[in-house]
Amino acid sequence: MALLENPLGHPEKFHISKDLGFILEDPLEELPDCYQVWVRLAKNLPSLIQNGQFREEVKQLPELNISQLQGHKEQRLAHLALAVITMGYVWQDSEVMQVLPRKIAVPFCEISKQLGLPPIMVYADCVLANWKKKDPSGNMDTLFAFPGGDCSKGFFLVSLLVEKAAASAIGVIPDIFEAIKSKNVESLKESLRTVASSVHKAIEVFDLVHKHVNPNVFFDTLRIYLSGWKNNPLLPNGLIYEGVWETPKMFCGGSAAQSSIMQCFDALLGIQHSSAEEKTSAKFLEEMRNYMPSSHKDFLEAVTSSPSVRDFIISSDDIKLKKDYNECVKALVHLRSYHLQVVAKYIINQSNKQDNAKEKKSSDNQEKGTGGTNLMTFLKTVRNTTEKALLKES
């Protein structure tokens, strides 16, 4: 397939930017006037939840249809604002709401359908579209936040900066497939070095999480608002979307398995989470592709179905090429190992601290991630699968 027709040569067609990757470039901060009520309510969530008024305000919302929303950026801001309102409405306090009122459920499900997203907050909402430049010097802020002070701002923005650091690899994807096609080994080596350095930049940025995300607040407050209603004992049948479906529906809570950039690295390097013991994690990663904007999911599928970079390198007798490939895999293993240490500090230690205060957590009641996964098993499996992809350099 000539590069011109090769979809990978035109990332912009997938709402992907050459320098920001899957991050939404310059997100809108306001919607057309008739929809601004959604943006205002979502922005006031922390104070309205603090004084227990949030749910009342949601019930006062006007019934709006989404026909006036024009273009991808308005749709993304509308999905983000409606998602924030939905999470706040369901999780405002210990009395969990079983029914999402039609005034929010109907437009939220319609805009979700247009974007190919589920009607629940996803990574593409609160990380990829939830940012603005605060001042010309480039300091950033989030558009929306959750209770817990600056914790959600820190968590979302650090994730965004990791995405931004890793995004420099997206720009070389067309070059990688062109190099495979024309068997240009030197060009392929250069592109692989760019991929490895983008992951190293992402690892450096990751460190900011310790400075900007408080572990207690993350575990006790923010994590609750990112929870979903699939396999969640607090909403055992899921959530009723009034005016949309007669029966309750289940959707997974926020997970960075919804991060396209990480799944893109796996697809590009031919790291397959698919063997028997990896079945659960492979299935979860696959399911999370349905929690990405449809254009990003399509891009991942285009990468997955392109000629295998890994097979080309395995069949090559160029040792340096194998070393450059292994540098990319090693960098990904390092990133996932560092992330595991962070998860231990922010979730496992926090959970054990709480257990010591109460009775011991039984072994089968292991901590679950926001995405509902048995998180350490999932994360270790994903990291180990990545490590297995290393090629023999002899």
Ligand X SMILES: Brc1ccc(-c2csc3nccn23)cc1
Pick the binder of ligand HEM from 347, 381, 385, 389 (CB under 6 A): 347
The yes or no reply on residue 226 touching ligand X (CB under 6 A) is yes
User: Residue 189 Cβ, how far from ligand X at the closest point, in Å?
Assistant: 31
Binding mask 223-262 for ligand HEM (x = CB under 6 A): --------------------------------xxx-x--x
Instruction: Show contacts with ligand HEM in window 309-338 (CB under 6 A).
Output: 336
x/- track of binding to ligand X for residues 353-392 (CB under 6 A):
-----------------x----------------------
Q: Which is nearest to 203 in space by CA: 307, 342, 377?
A: 342
**Residue from 101, 147, 154, 254 binding ligand X (CB under 6 A):** 254
| Nearest distance in Å: CB 242, ligand X | 22
- x/- binding map, residues 369-388, to ligand HEM, per CB under 6 A? xxx-x-x--xx--x------
336 binding partner (options ligand X, ligand HEM, none; Cβ < 5 to 8 Å by kind): ligand HEM
Residue 323: Cβ within 10 Å count: 13
Q: Is 339 annotated as a binding residue?
A: yes
| Residues contacting 228, CB < 8 A, separation 6+ | 120, 250, 251, 252, 253, 254, 370, 371, 372
- Helices (H), ranges, the chain: 36-43, 45-50, 54-59, 71-91, 102-115, 123-126, 151-167, 173-181, 185-206, 208-212, 215-217, 223-225, 260-269, 279-288, 294-304, 309-315, 319-343, 349-357, 375-388
What x-and-dash track marks residues 147-176 binding ligand X by CB under 6 A? ------------x-----------------
- Interaction between residue 131 and ligand HEM (CB under 6 A): no
End-to-end CA distance of the chain: 33
Burial of 105 (0-12, 13-18, 19+ CB in 10 A): buried
Q: How far is CA 358 from CA 93, 216, 361, 362, in A?
A: 21, 16, 8, 12
Chain residues that interact with ligand HEM, rule: CB under 6 A: 155, 158-159, 162-163, 206, 209, 213, 218, 255-257, 259, 262, 336, 339, 342-343, 346-347, 369-371, 373, 375, 378-379, 382
Chain residues that interact with ligand X, rule: CB under 6 A: 121-123, 126-127, 159, 226, 254-256, 258, 370
